[in-house]
């Protein structure tokens, strides 16, 4: 690894030694410096772009030019005539001053060389071809090479540290703005320009009265010739593995015209290549954002979908089917129709061994070793339809409906060193319908109205079954729990079942009024409401040997093994915010006044809680420069729990995890402070951003947990001990010639009060991670990307302390050889020091070799190998507020596949 880093540094050094600095100032005829002017140098011998730069706030630029060469300097600025001059450089650095003249609109418009990066106000435009060397196949391959752009570990696009929340193609939403589907599937050769839209507002009427600095959108401009024609590719492949034949079919087809667009993406394979994970689809919000997101109220409706054990990247076998379609249609200039459909089906086999060591011996919880296998199936479907009507600049109406349904199941066989053998089954078939209606009306230049309303209807029905071996004549580890649950202990097995049904019905709506006081300030009044109703029913029962069922009566918790709970919540609030710009400051103080109503009804008893709350918030933004800003925020939030924590009856989260709720639970209050800094400097190719956040939770809902052997029983209460969390993430990125250096750093501190076996203790966790990296971007030579992740995790668990240290160097390599062959490879070595003198490690290595006659060839032939070293498992270690956990997860063996790719 050290040799590879040395080679990258050597390449950067050789490149810099063969160049000189060409610096200067760009100004207008009044000697006023021009910021964000484009400066490029074209090599007169090769006619290729040699270097480019953008002026800073002082009008200065800096280019790197080859020694003893001749170049054409082109300087362009909006409203100015393009400046051109041929210069010859020697072996010494140069400094020049350039003056641009006002543009004469009657002059002939002259085309200049394409700038790799241009900045126009809040829009950054990247010319895609300037960052490609021929090895790229998908949009993400291009994005990873753009200055200021990153693909994070979740597959999301980040620009200057902010997640891109909408992606469009030729101005039309791509699957409602989802970025992961776009980066993994849009072919790189179809991309002309990538436009980053900072301070993005979907509603033009609100752009001048709202703070949009966190909103970033991206628009992909297609190359000429891609409109009114189908484009994309179809991949088909086959291969072999030690136990089965492999197959893969991936059609990806796109059609764009000025009036409508169609997109089809399919993925059918058993090679473990997952286009969208189950979590991706579950979190696929379809662009829905709750109207109350900035009101200060946080209402948790809970998530009772199936919590799969397996991460889809770590499984023995994966069979995946994905079918998606997206359309947009504009019958006229005022009306836009769009929608998408997603169907995903997966079948997964997993195997894992683990060991749990409990850190406090006084708790009396035995350590536990487990081995489990799991068969998982998931079928998920989403359908969304949208309409946007804007007859004129003063009126806009949007309507969306999103329906989702799934059918998930999980079969587990678990051996525990404490409990013995257990078979478990989880099944759930939830559905939900979400509707959104927005209307925006501009009365006149000083008065704007905005109505946002959202309705959610959701039904969840999880079923759980566990079968544990029982010896009627002798004691078993589960006997004490079985007797407490009131089960029949005379049978040869404990066959437990549980049905649950959770229905949620919620309306979230608000009416905003914006009054523009002057060019620097405006007033915002908000009247809003959240109305929610949840119904929760559950029952625990035992299957008997004759096939009948037995309804037990527990010997604790008042004998309640069933639930029939209704929970009603209401919030009516009035918000007031004042926004003013003064100098470099944009200040937005405000507050919201809430009238809350809570009522839960169960077993003939009603618990009510009605109260008022005043929640302040504050935001200040310092625009230090055009591309440098600092934002400070504070908000107080009121947090409410879901119905399952209020329900008094017993609920099985698992056979060894039992809970019952508390009807008298109150809301939790939190103070939240955040600070965000960003600087995007194309003068010296340096990008910096940092984000820090602190939260303190008062009256946080915590669990009171007791253990009988490894069986956990929990209930809930409002803790008088404040819990705290602080996290920081920063990135600095600098480009030196053809080498880009990046350093990421993150810190997370958490303080949680835990209550176990009647004892209160403090759990403190601190994790720090540093990830330096180097990446080359040569147009002809091979490119490498080097990363090194160093992470330290410390946990202080009520007196016991654990430390894990992770070292993970990695290298990505790609080369475009003879303009026909593409070689790509990635390798990662992960080592984890357990803090007790022992360590564990594993490696991953994948490679792809492909051939196409030239860049425009229709056919491409590819050989891909995954897990080349045939590693059979991966290890993972972690610690929480109770125990230290280590696991070994078995993964897919070495796969080799041959693929044909046809490009339309």
pLDDT in tens, 106-165: 444 444 556 788 887 788 889 998 888 888 989 999 998 888 888 887 778 888 778 888
Q: Which residues pair with 770 in a beta bridge?
A: 745, 790
Angle at 225 between CA 221 and CA 226, to 5 degrees: 55
**Mean pLDDT of the region 591-614:** 95
Q: Are 115 and 122 in contact (CB under 8 A)?
A: no
The percent of residues in the chain predicted with pLDDT above 70, rounded, is 95
* Per-residue confidence band for 584, with pLDDT thresholds at 50, 70 and 90: very high
Q: How far is CA 42 from CA 39, 45, 48, in A?
A: 10, 9, 6
* Per-residue confidence band for 270, with pLDDT thresholds at 50, 70 and 90: very high
Question: Of 175-184, 455-464, 535-544, which gets the smallest average pLDDT?
Answer: 175-184
- Span 635-672, pLDDT tens digits: 999 999 999 999 999 999 988 899 999 999 999 999 99
Q: For residue 595, how far is the Cα from the chain centroid? A: 34
pTM of the model: 0.88
Q: What span, in angstroms and rounded, lies between the C-alpha atoms of 85 and 71? A: 8
Which residues, 6+ apart, have CB-to-CB distance to 123 below 8 Å? 195, 196, 197, 198
Q: What span, in angstroms and rounded, lies between the C-alpha atoms of 732 and 179? A: 23
What average pLDDT does the structure give for the chain? 89
Q: What's the pLDDT at 1?
A: 47
- Span 812-821, pLDDT tens digits: 999 999 989 9
**How many CB atoms sit inside 10 A of residue 616's CB?**
12
Question: Of 332-336, 361-365, 788-792, which gets the smallest average pLDDT?
Answer: 361-365
Q: What span, in angstroms and rounded, lies between the C-alpha atoms of 19 and 13? A: 10
Question: Of 157-161, 246-250, 550-554, 701-705, which gets the smallest average pLDDT?
Answer: 157-161
Q: What's the pLDDT at 829?
A: 95
Buried-state track 129-145, b at ≥16 Cβ within 10 A, e below 16: ebbbbbbbbbbbbbbbb
* Per-residue confidence band for 799, with pLDDT thresholds at 50, 70 and 90: low
- Span 350-364, pLDDT tens digits: 999 998 887 777 777
CB-side exposure of 841: number of CA atoms within 13 Å?
11
**Mean pLDDT of the region 227-248:** 89
Q: What's the pLDDT at 108?
A: 44
Q: Are 845 and 824 in contact (CB under 8 A)?
A: no
**Mean pLDDT of the region 553-558:** 91
Q: Which is more confidently placed, 54 or 749?
A: 749
Q: What's the pLDDT at 210?
A: 85
**How many CB atoms sit inside 10 A of residue 275's CB?**
19
> Length of the chain, please?
904
| HEC assignment per residue over 258-293 | CCEEEEEEEEEECCCCCCCCHHHHHCCCCCCCCHHH
**Mean pLDDT of the region 404-418:** 93
Query: Containing H/E element for 141?
Result: helix 139-143
Question: Of 77-91, 92-106, 464-478, which gets the smallest average pLDDT?
Answer: 92-106
Q: What's the pLDDT at 456?
A: 96
* Per-residue confidence band for 247, with pLDDT thresholds at 50, 70 and 90: very high
Q: What span, in angstroms and rounded, lies between the C-alpha atoms of 702 and 718? A: 6
- Span 879-902, pLDDT tens digits: 766 778 888 899 999 999 999 999
**Mean pLDDT of the region 260-287:** 82
- Span 620-642, pLDDT tens digits: 999 988 888 999 999 999 999 99
Among the listed residues 680, 622, 687, 735, the one whose alpha carbon sits nearest the alpha carbon of residue 36: 680
Q: What's the pLDDT at 315?
A: 85
Which residues, 6+ apart, have CB-to-CB distance to 638 below 8 Å? 296, 297, 298, 594, 596, 613, 615, 667, 668, 669
Residue 419 has pLDDT above 60, yes or no: yes
Q: Are 543 and 578 in contact (CB under 8 A)?
A: no
Among the listed residues 506, 443, 9, 539, the one whose alpha carbon sits nearest the alpha carbon of residue 288: 506
**Mean pLDDT of the region 765-775:** 95
Q: What span, in angstroms and rounded, lies between the C-alpha atoms of 87 and 255? A: 45
- Span 290-303, pLDDT tens digits: 899 899 999 999 88
| HEC assignment per residue over 508-564 | EEEEEEEEEEECCEEEEEEEEEEEEEEEEEEEEEEECCCCCEECCCCCCHHHCCEEE
Q: What span, in angstroms and rounded, lies between the C-alpha atoms of 804 and 80? A: 59
Q: What's the pLDDT at 347?
A: 92
Q: What's the pLDDT at 642?
A: 94
Q: What span, in angstroms and rounded, lies between the C-alpha atoms of 620 and 677? A: 12
**Mean pLDDT of the region 682-706:** 90
Which residues, 6+ apart, have CB-to-CB distance to 442 below 8 Å? 205, 393, 394, 395, 448, 449
Which residues, 6+ apart, have CB-to-CB distance to 828 below 8 Å? 808, 809, 810, 843, 844, 845
Q: What's the pLDDT at 277?
A: 76
Q: What span, in angstroms and rounded, lies between the C-alpha atoms of 360 and 647? A: 31
Q: Are 858 and 827 in contact (CB under 8 A)?
A: no
Q: What span, in angstroms and rounded, lies between the C-alpha atoms of 678 and 690? A: 7
Q: What's the pLDDT at 109?
A: 41
Q: Output the DSSP codes for 672-706.
A: EEEEEEEEEETTTTEEEEEEEEEEEEES-EEEEEE
Q: What's the pLDDT at 104?
A: 63
The percent of residues in the chain predicted with pLDDT above 90, rounded, is 57
Q: What span, in angstroms and rounded, lies between the C-alpha atoms of 22 and 92? A: 9
């Amino acid at each position: 690894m050290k040799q590879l880093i040395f080679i990258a540094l050597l390449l950067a050094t050789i490149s810099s030694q063969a160049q000189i600095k060409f610096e200067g100032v760009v100004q207008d005829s009044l000697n006023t410096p021009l910021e964000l002017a484009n400066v490029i140098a074209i090599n007169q011998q090769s006619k290729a772009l040699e270097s480019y730069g953008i002026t800073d706030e002082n009008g200065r630029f800096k280019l790197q030019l080859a020694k003893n060469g001749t170049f054409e300097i082109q300087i362009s600025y909006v409203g100015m005539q393009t400046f051109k001059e041929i210069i010859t450089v020697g072996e010494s650095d140069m400094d020049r001053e350039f003056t641009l003249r006002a543009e004469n609109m009657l002059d002939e418009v002259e085309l200049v060389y394409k700038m790799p990066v241009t900045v126009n106000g809040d829009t950054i435009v990247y010319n895609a071809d300037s960052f490609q060397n021929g090895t790229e196949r998908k949009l993400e391959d291009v994005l990873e090479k753009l200055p200021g752009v990153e693909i994070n570990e979740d597959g999301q696009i980040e620009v200057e540290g902010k997640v891109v929340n909408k992606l469009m193609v030729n101005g039309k939403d791509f699957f409602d703005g989802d970025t992961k589907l776009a980066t993994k599937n849009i072919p790189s050769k179809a991309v002309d320009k990538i436009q980053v839209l900072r301070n993005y507002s979907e509603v033009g009427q609100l752009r001048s009265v709202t703070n949009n600095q966190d909103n970033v959108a991206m628009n992909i401009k297609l190359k000429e010739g891609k409109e009114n024609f189908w484009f994309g590719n179809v991949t088909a492949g086959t291969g072999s593995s030690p136990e089965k034949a492999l197959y893969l079919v991936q059609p990806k087809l796109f059609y764009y015209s000025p009036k409508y667009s169609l997109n089809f993406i399919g993925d059918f394979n058993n090679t473990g290549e997952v286009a969208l994970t189950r979590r991706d689809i579950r979190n696929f919000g379809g662009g829905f954002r709750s109207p109350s997101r900035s009101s200060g109220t946080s209402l948790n409706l809970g998530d009772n979908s199936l919590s799969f054990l397996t991460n889809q990247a770590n499984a023995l076998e994966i069979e995946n089917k994905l079918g998606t379609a997206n359309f947009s249609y504009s019958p006229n200039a005022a009306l836009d129709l769009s929608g998408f459909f997603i169907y995903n089906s997966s079948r997964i086999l997993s195997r894992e061994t683990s060991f749990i060591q409990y850190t406090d011996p006084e708790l009396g919880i035995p350590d536990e070793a487990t081995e489990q296998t799991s068969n998982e199936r998931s079928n998920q479907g989403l359908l969304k339809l949208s309409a946007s009507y804007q007859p004129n600049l003063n009126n806009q109406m949007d309507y969306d409906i999103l329906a989702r349904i799934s059918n998930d199941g999980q079969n587990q066989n678990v051996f525990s060193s404490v409990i013995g053998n257990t078979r478990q089954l989880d099944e759930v078939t939830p559905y939900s319908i979400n509707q959104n209606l927005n209307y925006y009306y501009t009365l006149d230049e000083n008065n704007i109205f905005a109505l946002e309303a959202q309705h959610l209807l959701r039904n969840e029905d999880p079923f759980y079954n566990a079968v544990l071996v029982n010896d009627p004549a002798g004691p078993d580890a589960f006997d004490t729990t079985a007797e407490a649950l009131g089960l029949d202990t005379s049978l040869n097995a404990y066959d437990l079942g549980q049905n649950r049904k959770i229905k949620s019905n919620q309306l979230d709506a608000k009416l905003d009024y914006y009054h523009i006081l002057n060019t620097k300030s405006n007033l915002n009044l908000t009247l809003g409401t959240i109305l929610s109703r949840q119904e929760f029913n559950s029952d625990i029962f035992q299957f008997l040997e004759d096939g009948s069922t037995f309804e037990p009566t527990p010997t604790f918790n008042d004998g309640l093994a069933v639930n029939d709970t209704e929970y009603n919540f209401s919030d009516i609030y009035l918000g007031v915010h004042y926004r003013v710009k003064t100098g470099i400051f944009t200040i937005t103080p405000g507050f919201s006044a809430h009238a809350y109503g809570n009522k839960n009804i169960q077993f003939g008893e009603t618990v009510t809680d009605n109260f008022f709350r005043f929640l302040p918030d504050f935001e200040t933004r310092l625009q230090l420069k055009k591309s440098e800003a600092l934002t400070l925020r504070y908000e107080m939030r009121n947090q409410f729990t879901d119905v399952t924590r209020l329900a008094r009856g017993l609920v099985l989260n698992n056979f060894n995890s039992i809970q019952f709720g508390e009807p008298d639970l109150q809301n939790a209050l939190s103070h939240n402070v955040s600070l965000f800094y960003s600087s995007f400097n194309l003068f010296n190719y340096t990008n910096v951003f940092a984000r820090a956040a602190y939260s303190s939770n008062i009256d946080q809902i915590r669990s009171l947990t007791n253990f009988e052997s490894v069986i956990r029983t929990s209930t809930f209460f409002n803790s008088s001990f404040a819990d705290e969390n602080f996290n920081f993430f920063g990135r600095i990125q600098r480009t030196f010639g053809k080498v880009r250096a990046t350093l990421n750093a993150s810190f997370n501190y958490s303080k949680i009060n835990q209550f176990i076996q009647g004892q209160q203790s403090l759990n403190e966790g601190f994790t720090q991670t540093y990830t330096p990296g180097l990446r080359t971007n040569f147009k002809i030579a091979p490119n490498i990307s080097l990363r090194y992740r160093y992470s330290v995790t410390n946990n202080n668990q009520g007196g016991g302390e654990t430390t894990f240290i992770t070292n993970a160097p990695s290298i990505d390599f790609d080369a475009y050889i003879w303009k026909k062959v593409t070689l790509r490879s990635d390798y990662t070595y992960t080592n984890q020091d357990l803090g007790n003198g022992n360590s564990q490690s594993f490696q991953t290595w994948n490679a792809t070799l492909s051939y196409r006659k030239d860049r425009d060839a229709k056919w491409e032939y590819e050989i891909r190998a995954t897990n080349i070293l045939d590693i059979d498992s991966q290890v993972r270690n972690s610690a929480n507020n109770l125990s230290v956990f280590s696991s070994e997860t078995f993964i897919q063996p070495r796969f080799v596949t041959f693929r044909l790719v046809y490009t339309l």
